[in-house]
Structure 1
Amino acid sequence: MLARQLPDPPTLIGPLTDFSRLPLPALRQRVACGFPSPSEDFFTEEDRLDLNQKLVANPAATFMAWADTGGSMVDFGIHDGDLLVIDRSVRPRNGHTVLVLWEGGFMVKKLEIRGGRIRLLASRGVAPIEVGEGVELDVWGVVRWSLTKHV
């Protein structure tokens, strides 16, 4: 029996070992999203944050993809054009957002496992996908982060 050849991960940016280190200033405290709180107006060397270290737990198993949601994942915090950080080393579990290869195409959905049944969930108004018995579902990885551009 021949093993099925899988395509390369979608929108693969490149090996994370090729990314350069770029520590950026980061506030030591969380910032208020309601009323402002006083904070220091300077940064020290200890206040630097490298996003590669923060976002990537396992570089050898991580790749990135751009979300093309059509609005189907906004209830789960993923918007059209978001940059997704996907880790293939994380074991998919109930409630994880996953990248799957389904009927020849890639898609990101929320994984629901109940009583041995698997469903792929999307935002309200989008019918869940019922994964029938005997249907092989290729989970390519778990979405660890989604980054939304605001400007």
Structure 2
Amino acid sequence: MDHQLQYIICSSTGGRSMELDLKYGTGTIRVHIPESAQAQILEPNQLDPVDSVEQELTNVLFRLGASGPSPTDRLGKGAMVAIAIPDETRPLPVKKIMPALLSWLFGTQPELDPAKVTIVVGGGLHPPLDQTTLNRLVPTEIAGGCLVLGH
């Protein structure tokens, strides 16, 4: 069985539908798929690793403004900005990308007040994050005056 499908168990129920038992949380959930349904296996794109996440993000942000209007062009002097990031349960290198993102944001909008920028840490269904955890995710020296809140 393909390693990407190792957690799917297929069974037939009289030729009318297929049942898939998918891992879900600590158990499984059964999904019924009609025989008439069209299905295909989706596989992730294969991408080469980058040498520097920070440099790659900086390059992408630079290209945003070079190829047309920048996402920040509409921000006025009193604008408020929200940046959403995941909590620690998702593998995003926040401490690597946030400095480059904030540098780009304030570089393209020098009049933007850091106090009007809120970094929202999404926790999904997890318990609310305490201030110590928020500071660990986005240290004060990275936040640079931006408000960091848990959602």
Higher relative contact order (CA 8 A, sep 6+): 1
**Rg larger in structure:** 2
Higher helix proportion (structure 1 or 2): 2
More strand by share: 1
TM-score between both structures, scaled by the size of structure 2: 0.24
